[in-house]
Amino acid sequence: MGSVVELYEALASAPDERARARLIAAAFERLEERYPHLPDLVTHQQLRETELRLQKEIEQVRADLSLQIERLRGEVKTDIEQLRGEVTTAIERSRNSLLMWLIPLMFAQVGALAALVKLL
């Protein structure tokens, strides 16, 4: 029994209800054998509901990520400002340290040149 017409003819020629029920059950069994994934199929409505649910979840994740990005930007700006202050302080300390050594060396150099001039 390979077609719907054959099933119809078999049902029409069945002698009693029990035979018809057996034919229908056999047809369902062949249908399940031929299409084993049939129970896993979804309707358009179910698919649309899933799609809408996923879109909602995507928007929620997008909003959460935006909030996290803004929070991280604020933290990074704070860290940059802190580092900028630390670098500026380090530069000032280095400059002061250099001046502390450079000025006495300049005076020593001038004194050495004056001593050389006197010797000549």
What pLDDT score was predicted for residue 85?
A: 95
What pLDDT score was predicted for residue 1?
A: 52
Position 43, amino acid: T
End-to-end CA distance of the chain: 130
How distant is the alpha carbon of residue 3 from its chain centre? 51
Contact present, 7 and 27 (Cβ < 8 Å): yes
State the SS3 of 11-61: HHHCCCHHHHHHHHHHHHHHHHHHCCCHHHCCCHHHHHHHHHHHHHHHHHH
Q: Is the pTM of this model over 0.85?
A: no
Q: Is 100 helix (H, G, I), strand (E, B) or coil?
A: helix
Report the chain (120 residues): mean pLDDT per 10 consecutive residues: 82 92 91 84 93 98 98 97 96 93 92 90
